[in-house]
Structure 1
């Protein structure tokens, strides 16, 4: 029998998927009504986290952040039996994941951090990607359980906290990409170019296809052999900011990048490959 703590969009759909696969699931949420709703799908809701985990050999949770994970697990702890597996799908800090793994092991419980690149539809359909890292014996034991929940279970090795770090890296890219898309639409608006026009451009010229090659080039260095000089890229960034300003709109990402470019040009790197400003982070 399983328990699931945290009935947000992801958690509730994970539970529905488990029930659809014939699992018995006990659920809890700080706002009790969100857990009660799952009874219509076959879950058993509890008002207490400790009661919800009683009898469960695997306890899943998906809450807001590190502090919420710590708080919820402490509330549930009186209901744990020795040897229970605690599977945390919350996006947290790597430090928090490492500390919790150690702390709960010392208390006689097994904690595994398994964050996901999954939206609510993925949780319901058991698609998307789930990340794990750490004790390979624990991961091997839990692999059948976790594989049923996702399209791909990505084992990142035995380094505790690596899954948490990789999850944050992925989310960083998504946030940065969304900021870039916002700038793209703002530039279009400033110049009378529609979103449909931009989609048409991307249908023909796909910048996403360059991502892996660009990352490899940055990691390899070689900034003395430019494909696009930093000074020229900075010139274009200036044109972008001017066009946006003249069109009465603001850019989110480009001004910060342009400011960093200026620092590197002032240091004498204007004739280097434009990606040179990334070099401290390699």
Structure 2
């Protein structure tokens, strides 16, 4: 028996996929109608979270944040069967995941944080990525179950909370990447360049292919052999901002990057490779 707590877009499709694989699934959601809607697919919906977890061997969670996870699990506690396994797919802090792992173990339960890089379609199709870390005996026990829910389970080793940290890093990259796309579109708008031309450029020149090498360059700590000097990068950044201002558009992140460049130029790094702006982050 499986219980699923939190049946929003992601959770609902996880439930549907579990049902298609022949699992009995009991569901709960803070907005009861979202859980009840899954009864048409074969789930059993409960208005009370403690009732929803009763008899379940594994309880999955897809909730909002640390506070929601703590609140819902506290409310579900009286319904948990002895030795039940809690698998939390919520994006949370690393500290919260570590604390819950310890506290639930002390109470006789297994808690594993398993955040995902999966959208609703991935959850329905069992594709995408699920991250785990911590007690490797627990990971080994649950990996066959988790592998059925996703395309790939990425195991980051024995360190508690590391999966949570990796999820946050991945989401940070998605946020900054998307903000960069927004600024790219803003500059294109200011310069009256259509989307089709952007597609032509990026179909031929794929900067994403440079990611691994750029990560190593920024983190490597050697900036005195530039391929693009910081002074020149800052000059181009000013051209971006001037063109946007003239075209009546605004940027989300470029002004902050320009400010960071100015700080490093003021420190005397104008002739270094422009990746020097990541020096503080790269320094251990």
Q: TM-score range by the shorter chain?
A: over 0.9
**1:157 paired residue number:** 157
Deviation of the 1:5 alpha carbon: 0.4
Deviation (angstroms), 1:195: 1.4
Any gaps of 5 or more consecutive residues in structure 2?
none
Give the aligned length: 282
Structure 2 CA distance, aligned partners of 1:54 and 1:248? Answer: 59
3-state SS of 1:77 partner = helix
Q: Which residue of 1 aligns with 2:97?
A: 97
1:213 aligns with 2:208: no
The match for 1:148 is: 148
- 1:172 alignment partner in structure 2: 172
Residue in structure 1 matched with residue 267 of structure 2 by the alignment: 267
What is the distance in 2 between the residues matched to 1:259 and 1:168? Answer: 25
Q: Residues 43-192 of structure 1 correspond to what in structure 2 (within 5 A)?
A: 43-192=43-192
Q: Which runs of 4+ in 1 moved over 3 A?
A: none
Structure 1 residue 234: Cα displacement = 0.2
Partner of residue 39, structure 2: 39
Relative to the length of structure 2, the TM-score reads 0.99
1:12 counterpart residue number? 12
| Counterpart for residue 24 of structure 1 | 24
Deviations 1:52-103 (A, max 9, x none): 0000000001000000000010111000122110000000000100001011
Distance (Å, rounded) in 1 between the aligned partners of 2:258 and 2:53: 52
Separation (CA, whole Å) in 2 of partners of 1:207 and 1:143: 34
How many Å separate the matches in 1 of 2:2 and 2:37? 18
Partner of 2:245: 245
Q: Deviations over 1:132-190 (max 9, x none)?
A: 00000111111111010000000000000000000000000000000000000000000
C-alpha distance in 1, partners of 2:56/2:41?
19
Task: Give 3-state SS (helix, strand or coil) of 1:97's partner.
Answer: helix
Contact 2:219 2:278 in 1 (8 A): no
Listed as ranges, the gaps of 5+ residues in structure 1 are none
1:202 Cα offset (Å): 0.2
Q: Distance in 1 between matches of 2:77 and 2:102?
A: 15
Separation (CA, whole Å) in 2 of partners of 1:22 and 1:81: 22
Shift, 1:219, TM fit: 1.5
SS in 2 for 1:83: coil
- 1:269 match: secondary structure: coil
SS at 1:105 equivalent: helix
CA distance in 2 between partners of 1:86 and 1:196 (Å): 47
TM-score w.r.t. length of structure 1? 0.99
